[in-house]
Amino acid sequence: MTAPANAAITAPTVAPMTRQPQPTTVYIGVPDMVRIIRHLGLSACIAEVAERIEAHFLRWTQFDKSARLACHSTAGVIELMPIADAHEFAFKYVNGHPGNTRLGLPTVMAFGVLADVDTGLPRLLCELTLVTAIRTAATSALAAQRLARPGSRCMALIGNGAQSEFQAIAFRDLVGIRELRLFDLDRAASLKLAANLAGQGLAVVICASTADAVRGADIVTTVTADKSLATIITPEMVEPGMHFNAVGGDCPGKTELHRGVLAAASVFVEFEPQTRIEGDIQQMPADFPVTEFWRVLSGEQPGRSHAAQVTVFDSVGFALEDHAALGFVRDAAAELGIGDCVELVPQSANPKNLFGLLTAVAPDAGNMAPSLGPVPPARLPA
């Protein structure tokens, strides 16, 4: 039956747009993260994150993994790092811009999200600049527990910028390091690090060169920022039994170890497809042998096999570590009652009526209908 031409057309009934009483996403900013770290203590945070990272590595096959997506420029790199298990998806936005300190900005800045896999709902939006420093240090120390000589007490720390204090404390607490030998091209950075570590139970020596710092060390950590094909550690610096924790070589065109150091060592990596592109092993042939670290933790492959063995952890940072760290932040924030709820996702009684959010009356607007702006004139065909 056809309605008369002049019959009124009745609009369908649309469910009212009612806001839910609670937002869905917890936001942890830098001040919140500082409160969490101060309340729990930095050492406890590093130890807990290390435990969670180890547990994640032992669930390696349960994760949907991929190398990170990177956009490179002459000034630096901006990256996205996604990963998921059956329950939670995580990603991190992170940059690396060595020139940022001249602008008053950190070299590395990061934030991340933890979301439900079943719905895609973001549950946590979190600063990750501080958290990345904690998780990187935790991962470094976790690897050294398996790859460095037992009883290691002296570590050379090459590159004394924003990550260095976290590395020093992690190696003190989780590995047993008691002496630090520092070098940075910027002596002020070494003085800063030494001052921050005063009273922390570490004997600190500022050295005149990389070679001077490395001499006699059990462990060598390199955490430099310059985006260049550098050879900070050369073969003549290597001594039997050393463990190299190579952190700074983390994108194409950025290295720290001479290829001769790699060729003479047993090399361990996080996620081989990513490290082949970004790590120090980018210098090596595609068939250069490496061992993924999860295989050491699971017992499938040996770590250090003898005292004279030279080991390298070619660490570029992997999203699995961020997934573990975000879980730590979520749980710590909930336990301590820290963080704000934010409405990152639209909420209404009728999720299909997104447009209705624009026409709903705000709670404090009385009976005034909101305006969507003037209607633009119709465009007639030429």
Residue 8 has what pLDDT?
Answer: 46
Residue 230 has what pLDDT?
Answer: 83
Place of tokens 């710590």: 332
For the chain, what is the domain count? Answer: 2
Q: Based on the domain organization, do 105 and 226 belong to the same domain?
A: no
Is the Cβ–Cβ distance between 31 and 127 less than 8 Å? no
Q: Based on the domain organization, do 213 and 236 belong to the same domain?
A: yes
Residue 224 located in a structural domain: yes
Q: Could you give the angle at the alpha carbon of 130 between the alpha carbons of 36 and 341, nearest 5°?
A: 55
Residue 374 located in a structural domain: no
Residue 252 has what pLDDT?
Answer: 86
Residue 251 has what pLDDT?
Answer: 82
Q: Based on the domain organization, do 214 and 308 belong to the same domain?
A: yes
Residue 363 located in a structural domain: no
Distance CA 157, CA 210 (A): 9
Q: Based on the domain organization, do 236 and 118 belong to the same domain?
A: no
Q: Based on the domain organization, do 309 and 331 belong to the same domain?
A: no
Q: What is the CATH number of the domain that holds 289?
A: 3.40.50.720
Residue 203 has what pLDDT?
Answer: 98
Residue 91 located in a structural domain: yes
| Marked catalytic residue, from 32, 184, 250, 322 | 250
Q: Based on the domain organization, do 326 and 310 belong to the same domain?
A: no
Our CA dihedral for 57, 59, 65, 70, rounded to 10 degrees, sits at: -30
What's the domain range around 213? 148-317
Verify whether residue 250 is a known catalytic residue: yes
Distance CA 6, CA 21 (A): 44
Q: Based on the domain organization, do 152 and 42 belong to the same domain?
A: no
Q: Based on the domain organization, do 163 and 310 belong to the same domain?
A: yes
Give Cα separations from 276 to 69, 253, 256, 302 (angstroms). Answer: 14, 12, 15, 21
Helix (H, G, I), strand (E, B) or coil at 365: coil
Residue 188, C-beta contacts closer than 8 angstroms, at least 6 positions apart: none
Q: List the chain pLDDT tens, one digit each, 382 residues.
A: 444 444 444 444 544 444 445 568 999 999 999 999 999 999 999 999 999 999 999 999 999 999 999 999 999 999 999 999 999 999 999 999 989 999 999 999 999 999 999 999 999 999 999 999 999 999 999 999 999 999 999 999 999 999 999 999 999 999 999 999 999 999 999 999 999 999 999 999 999 999 999 999 999 999 997 777 789 999 999 999 999 999 988 888 889 999 999 999 999 999 999 999 999 999 999 999 999 999 999 999 999 999 999 999 999 999 999 999 999 999 999 999 999 999 999 888 899 999 999 987 666 555 555 566 677 776 666 6
Q: Which of 98, 94, 131 is nearest to 110 (CA)?
A: 94
Q: Based on the domain organization, do 311 and 328 belong to the same domain?
A: no
Query: pLDDT tens across 84-96, in order?
Result: 999 999 999 999 9
Residue 379 located in a structural domain: no
Residue 349 has what pLDDT?
Answer: 85
What does the chain come to in residues? 382
Q: Based on the domain organization, do 124 and 161 belong to the same domain?
A: no
Q: Based on the domain organization, do 125 and 206 belong to the same domain?
A: no
Residue 9 has what pLDDT?
Answer: 41
Q: Which of 299, 250, 316, 271 is nearest to 64 (CA)?
A: 271
Residue 382 has what pLDDT?
Answer: 61
Residue 293 located in a structural domain: yes
Beta bridge partners of 150: none
Q: Based on the domain organization, do 170 and 110 belong to the same domain?
A: no
Q: What is the CATH number of the domain that holds 33?
A: 3.30.1780.10
